[in-house]
Amino acid sequence: MDKSNEYTYKYPRPAITVDCVIFGFDKDQLQLKVLLTKRAINPYIGMWPFPGGFINIDETSDECARRKLKEEAGLESIFLEQLYTFSKIERDPRERIISIAYYALVRSTDYILNIGLNIEDVQWFSLDEIPLLAFDHQEILDVAVERLKGKIRYQPIGFELLPEKFTLPDLHRLYETILQRDIDRGNFRKKILSMNLLIDHSDKQKNRPSRGAKIYSFDKNRYESLTKSGFYFEI
Amino acid sequence: MDKSNEYTYKYPRPAITVDCVIFGFDKDQLQLKVLLTKRAINPYIGMWPFPGGFINIDETSDECARRKLKEEAGLESIFLEQLYTFSKIERDPRERIISIAYYALVRSTDYILNIGLNIEDVQWFSLDEIPLLAFDHQEILDVAVERLKGKIRYQPIGFELLPEKFTLPDLHRLYETILQRDIDRGNFRKKILSMNLLIDHSDKQKNRPSRGAKIYSFDKNRYESLTKSGFYFEI
DNA sequence: CCAAAAGTGTTACCGTTACACCCATGG
DNA sequence: CCATGGGTGTAACGGTAACACTTTTGG
C-alpha cells in the first residue's frame, strides 16, 4: 500500500473504529468473563483494550468486527451482534473517533487463544477484576453487560456461551451467573424442557437417573421454525 | 465557513450521516405513521428521505439527530433513541456512507409541522403507503418498526405517542394498532391500572361511569422509582 | 330508543413458585 | 454410609383469557 497516498474531503470527517466486547463463561469459577488484548505497539502500548480498530473503506462494520476477532484473538464463526455506536466528542483524546461497538459470545473460556498481530497478550478477565480501561471502554462494557443480561432472558443466546453439548445443570448455572440471582432448579428444568428445544444425546441404553447429567444440544432448526409460527423464547 | 478548507487524512474515511425514523400515531385513522421530508435541493431533489444528514465534527450523533429533527421538521424535545448503525458498502451509490439511525416518537400526528431548510414538504405516511425510499431506507424503516413493536411491550414508550393527557381507550387502540392484534379491553385496562402508573385527571365531582372516558397521564416519576426497586413494565 | 362506548365483574384455566422427595454414586 | 448432585413430583397461588353485564349518551 502506498503510504504517501492521502485522502482529502471538503468537510472534516471523524475516524470510525469497531470495538468488540467478547464474553465467555468460565464454568469452573462460575464467572462471566470478557476478553481483552494487551497492545504490543504504540500508542497506548501495554494497555488492555477490547479487540477492535479502524474500519477499512471497503468493509462493513460487521466484516470489520469479524476481521478483528480473527486478527487479534484468533476467534472465528462465533455469535456476533452490533451493540451500540458511541460518539462522544472527547471519547478519544487523539482525535474525533466514533466507535461502532459489537458484542460476541464464545463457547467456554478454555480455548487456546491465538495472540494476534500487534498484540502482546490475550486474556480473560472476570467482570470484577477488569483493569482500568482506556477511553469510554468501561461504558461500552457496561452497556454490553446490560444487553447480555436482558437478551439472555428472551433470546436463546445463552447456548452460545456453552459447548455444543451441555447438561441442564450447566445451563442452569450459566443463567444464575449471568442474571446474578438464584433460580429454582426444578422450575428452570421444567421450563426449558417444556419448550422442546433440546436434543437429548444421552446413552439411551443405560437407565441411569443420576451421576453424570444428561447431555443435550440446542435444536436451532426447531427454534427457527417455531419462531416463524409465533413462538417466543423466554426464561 | 471557509469553503476552500480541505481536510486530509492518511487513510480514506467513510462519511457519517444520521437518519431519523419518526413515528406518530394517527388516532383518527388508527394508523402508525412515519414522517418523511421532501428534498428541495439536489441531489435527489423530489425524493422523500427520513430527516437526517451529515454529522458535524463537533457534535455527537445524538446531538446531530436532535438538530436534524429541529432543522428539517421543527420538532423539539421528543423521545429519541439510537436504533442501529447501517454500513453496507453500496448503501449509497455516491460514496461510502455509514448511517447511524435513530427513531423518534411524536405525540400525535396533528401538530403543524414546520418545513425546514432545503425541505420542500413534510408529510406523514402510513406504513402501507410509504413511497419508494432511496438507498437502504426501507431496511432502516423495517428495523425501526420491529424495534418499536418489541419495545412497546416492555417499556412505557407508548405514552410518547399520545398527548400528555389521554384516555384508556386511546392507549388501548394504540397498542392494538402497533402490535396489530386484538387485545381484550377489560384485561388490558386491568393490567395497566394494576401497575398504578396512571394519574387520574377526571373531574372527581361527577360520578359518570360513561360517555367521555376518564383522563389519565403517565406518572413518569413513579415509574422511575419503581424501576429502581426492581419493577418492570410489561403488557 | 337503541347502538355504541366506557367501565366493571366473574370464572376457568394454566403457568409459576416453593417446596419436598427419590435415586445413584463417589469419597 | 452419607453428603452431594441429578432428577422428579405436587400443591397452592396468582395472573391471564374469555366473556358477560351494566351504565350512559349521542344520533
Q: Hey, is A158 helix, strand or coil? A: helix
Nearest Cα neighbor of B100 from B149, B50, B146 is: B50
Are the beta carbons of B14 and A9 separated by less than 8 Å? Answer: no
**How distant is C1' of C2 from CA of B50, in Å?**
48
Are the beta carbons of B89 and A60 separated by less than 8 Å? Answer: yes
Instruction: Report the residue of B4, B8, B13 to disrupt the A interface, i.e. the one with the largest count of A CBs within 10 Å.
Output: B13
Q: Within chain B, where are the H helices?
A: 61-73, 137-151, 168-179, 185-194, 220-228
What's the pLDDT at A1?
A: 46
- pLDDT means per 10 residues in chain B (235 residues)? 75 98 96 94 89 97 97 94 98 96 93 82 95 94 98 97 97 97 97 96 60 91 93 93
A8/B contact by beta carbon, under 8 A = yes
What's the pLDDT at A12?
A: 97
- pLDDT means per 10 residues in chain A (235 residues)? 75 98 96 94 88 97 97 94 98 96 93 81 95 94 98 97 97 98 97 97 60 91 93 93
Are the beta carbons of B6 and A3 separated by less than 8 Å? Answer: no
What's the pLDDT at A134?
A: 87
Closest Cβ–Cβ partner in B15, B59, B88 for A13: B15
CA distances from A10 to B3, B8, B43, B75, B124 (A): 8, 9, 17, 29, 34
What's the pLDDT at A209?
A: 52
Q: Which residues contact A52 (CB under 8 A, 6 or more apart)?
A: A17, A18, A19, A20, A65, A68, A72, A99
Closest Cβ–Cβ partner in B13, B58, B82 for A85: B82
Grid cell, residue B121, equals 414538504
What's the pLDDT at A211?
A: 62
Q: For chain B, how long is the longest CA-to-CA vector?
A: 74
| Residues of B whose CB is below 8 A from A11 | 7, 54, 57
Are the beta carbons of A84 and B89 separated by less than 8 Å? Answer: no
What's the CA gap between B73 and B194, in Å, rounded?
Answer: 38
Residue with cell 391500572: B193
What's the pLDDT at B205?
A: 47
